[in-house]
């Protein structure tokens, strides 16, 4: 659906009568291109418990406005060259639209002029995924490093916590962590250096 047709639908549905602080730009030009954003989330399918799909505008606009249209109405989010959606608002949106889709339209302002880009969809699956990711965190260019660790991230809200950090030990290198059949209560981790060895965690107990 073109942006022109989409705007006609918005006007017909009465969405334009939002308060002035949340309304669309009064005047804008229409571009037949999708917005240049990172990460590119156009057309993706997401689980219902994923954290907000925040993104950056690569053309560094002075202002950005994004509409998220769903079956119950429309949400508007503003930013500069980055769009950050509040966690509570986002999860309420996903819960209300699981098994459905959300239509996003991005408006950007440069040199005093607003542009409206082609809308794109994000599809929401009904089923959640495992709530945590576990990974080794180390600075880029890891040939030279001083700090690293195994961390877990909550995919619901971006919270990150260390499982083990080399500052807890003697500055060791650590790698090769894995779980037994995806069971978080059974984990193996290998250490190098002064206290080299393999650590095995089982039901809260750790042996080397």
Helix/strand/coil (H/E/C) assignment for every residue in 143-170: CCCCCEEEEEEECCCCCEEEEEEHHHCC
Strands 120-124 and 132-138: unpaired
pLDDT by residue for the chain (208 residues), tens only, comes to 444 444 434 333 333 333 345 578 888 999 999 999 999 999 999 999 999 999 999 999 999 999 999 998 999 999 999 999 999 999 999 999 999 999 999 999 999 999 999 999 999 999 999 999 999 888 787 666 778 889 999 999 999 999 888 888 888 888 878 898 889 899 999 888 888 889 899 988 888 8
| End-to-end Cα distance, the chain | 60
3-class DSSP assignment, residue 201? strand
What domains sit in the chain, N to C, each tagged with a CATH number? 3-124 (2.60.40.10), 132-207 (no CATH)
What pLDDT does residue 122 have?
98
What's the rounded Cα separation, in Å, for the pair 56 and 26? 24
Q: Which residue has the tokens 């950050």?
A: 84
Tell if the pTM clears 0.85, that is, is over it. Answer: no
What pLDDT does residue 142 have?
65
What pLDDT does residue 144 have?
67
What pLDDT does residue 99 have?
96
Which residues, at least 6 apart from 186, have a Cβ–Cβ distance to it below 8 Å? Answer: 179, 180, 200, 201, 202, 203
Handedness of CA 182, 184, 187, 189 (dihedral sign): positive
Torsion of CA 16, 105, 69, 23, to 10 degrees: -30
Residue 15 CB neighbour total at 10 angstroms: 17
138 touches 145 (CB < 8 A): yes
166 touches 148 (CB < 8 A): yes
185 touches 179 (CB < 8 A): no
């Amino acid at each position: 659906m073109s942006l022109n047709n989409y705007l006609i639908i918005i006007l017909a549905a009465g969405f334009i009568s939002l308060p002035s602080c949340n309304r669309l730009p009064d005047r804008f030009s229409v571009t037949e291109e999708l917005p240049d954003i990172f990460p590119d989330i156009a057309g993706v399918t997401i689980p219902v418990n994923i954290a907000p799909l925040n993104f950056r505008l690569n053309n560094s606009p002075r202002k950005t406005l994004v509409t998220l249209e769903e079956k119950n109405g429309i949400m508007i989010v503003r930013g500069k060259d980055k769009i950050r959606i509040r966690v509570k608002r986002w999860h309420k949106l996903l819960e209300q639209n699981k098994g459905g889709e959300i239509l996003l339209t991005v408006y950007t302002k440069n040199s005093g002029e607003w542009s409206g880009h082609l809308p794109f969809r994000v599809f929401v699956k009904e089923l959640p995924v495992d709530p945590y990711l576990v990974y080794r965190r180390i600075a880029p260019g890891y040939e030279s490093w001083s700090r690293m660790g195994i961390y877990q991230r909550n995919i619901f809200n971006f919270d990150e916590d260390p499982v083990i950090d080399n500052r807890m030990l003697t500055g060791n290198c650590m790698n090769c962590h894995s779980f037994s059949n995806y069971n978080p209560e059974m984990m193996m981790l290998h250490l190098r250096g002064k206290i080299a060895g393999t650590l095995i965690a089982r039901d809260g107990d750790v042996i080397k």
